């Protein structure tokens, strides 16, 4: 038997710690009630807002849900690269065409540290959203959670329905690096008949660039591996080796420059 919106909302408010749900119209992504971000729905009043009628269920992020943060991966590259950069978590959900696109974390004060409800990271050329860190706070942020239907008709469902991990203060920084790697994957050279070596050269260039940014060799290799995989590059091992070669060359040159003559 399909659970009603009330049953699902009640499950959210009785979690430990509880999450603050918000009613969202069926197949929509945002609440329509005024000042929804200021309201706290609990086990005592949940029946006033949810019933058996079809509706979507959002969760208010930030302080009223004990510092819950949603990292929304809005493009295939972000979904592919996220495991290399983002902390592991046992709370992940998505939909059929974007599985694992939402990763949940706890951080009690991150919204206050960042100073805004969301951190949106976009493609500077197309303006497409790459990923978004939804933090909540005074101005409010929410995400439509499992138990809901996406506007395109897909069921929003859990991949892992466990506890969100406790994130560090560097979560937004990690998200920004993820977005940067998404752009590298998105604009990775295409495989073209009769043209050879462009992707190898790209890996050499990106490896050297990352080394100059201060990343160590294991990190450079990991990042280039995930960039190549996200770009559907068929020669991942070569790209990792190229990145390693350029990183080692940079490190040798730096050591030589430090030796007094």
193 band by pLDDT with thresholds 50, 70 and 90: low
191 band by pLDDT with thresholds 50, 70 and 90: confident
Amino acid 148: pLDDT? 96
- Tens of pLDDT, residue by residue over 154-169, are 999 999 999 999 999 9
How far apart (Å, rounded) are the C-alpha atoms in residues 81 and 95?
18
What mean pLDDT is reported for the chain? 93
- Tens of pLDDT, residue by residue over 169-190, are 999 999 999 999 999 999 999 8
DSSP element (H, E) containing 245: helix 236-258
15 band by pLDDT with thresholds 50, 70 and 90: very high
C-alpha 174 chain-centroid distance: 10
Please answer whether residues 230 and 76 qualify as being in contact, where contact means their C-beta atoms are separated by less than 8 angstroms: yes
Could you tell me what percent of the chain has a pLDDT over 90?
Answer: 84
Query: Across the chain, where does the E strand assignment appear?
Result: 20-24, 56-60, 68-73, 91-95, 98-106, 118-122, 129-134, 142-144, 157-161, 165-166
For residue 261, pLDDT over 60 is answered with no
How far apart (Å, rounded) are the C-alpha atoms in residues 117 and 104?
15
254 band by pLDDT with thresholds 50, 70 and 90: confident
Amino acid 52: pLDDT? 83
Sheet holding 56-60, edge to edge: 20-24, 56-60, 142-144
| Sign of CA pseudo-dihedral 130, 136, 139, 140 | positive
How far apart (Å, rounded) are the C-alpha atoms in residues 254 and 258?
6
C-alpha distances (whole Å) from 59 to each of 14, 18, 67, 166, 168 are 13, 10, 12, 18, 21
Please answer whether residues 12 and 21 qualify as being in contact, where contact means their C-beta atoms are separated by less than 8 angstroms: yes
Which of the 8 DSSP states describes residue 48? G
**C-alpha neighbours within 13 Å on the C-beta side of residue 181:** 33
- Tens of pLDDT, residue by residue over 29-77, are 999 888 999 999 999 999 999 988 899 999 999 999 999 999 999 999 9
Amino acid 1: pLDDT? 45
Q: List the beta bridge partners of residue 131.
A: 73, 121
Whether the predicted model's global pTM rises above the 0.85 cut: yes
For residue 234, pLDDT over 70 is answered with yes
Amino acid 196: pLDDT? 63
Site of tokens 């269920």: 57
- Tens of pLDDT, residue by residue over 71-121, are 999 999 999 999 999 999 999 999 999 999 999 999 988 988 888 899 999
- Tens of pLDDT, residue by residue over 127-147, are 999 999 999 977 789 999 999
For the chain, what's the residue count? 261
Q: Which two tokens stand for residue 96?
A: 């059929």
């Amino acid at each position: 038997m399909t659970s009603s919106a009330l049953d699902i909302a009640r499950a959210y408010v009785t979690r430990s710690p509880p999450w603050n749900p918000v009613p969202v119209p069926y197949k929509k992504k945002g609440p329509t009630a005024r000042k929804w971000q200021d309201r706290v729905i609990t086990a005592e009043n949940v029946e006033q807002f949810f019933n058996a009628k079809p509706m979507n269920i959002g969760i208010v992020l930030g302080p009223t849900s004990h510092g819950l943060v949603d990292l929304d991966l809005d493009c295939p590259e972000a979904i592919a690269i996220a495991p290399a950069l983002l902390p592991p978590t046992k709370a992940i959900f998505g939909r059929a065409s974007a599985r694992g696109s939402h990763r949940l974390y706890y951080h009690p004060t991150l919204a206050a540290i960042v100073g805004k409800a969301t951190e949106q990271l976009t493609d500077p050329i197309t303006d497409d959203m790459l990923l978004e860190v939804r933090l909540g706070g005074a101005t409010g942020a929410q995400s439509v959670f499992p138990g809901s239907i996406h506007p395109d008709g897909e069921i929003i469902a859990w991949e892992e329905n466990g506890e969100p991990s406790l994130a560090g203060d560097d979560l937004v920084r990690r998200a920004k690096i993820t977005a940067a790697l998404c752009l590298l994957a998105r604009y990775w050279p295409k495989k073209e008949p009769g043209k050879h070596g462009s992707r190898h050269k790209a890996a050499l260039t990106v490896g050297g660039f990352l080394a100059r940014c201060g990343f160590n060799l294991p990190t450079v290799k990991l990042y280039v591996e995930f960039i190549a995989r996200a770009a559907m590059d068929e020669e991942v091992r070569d790209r990792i080796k190229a990145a390693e070669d350029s990183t080692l060359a940079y490190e040798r040159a730096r050591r030589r420059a430090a030796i007094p003559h």
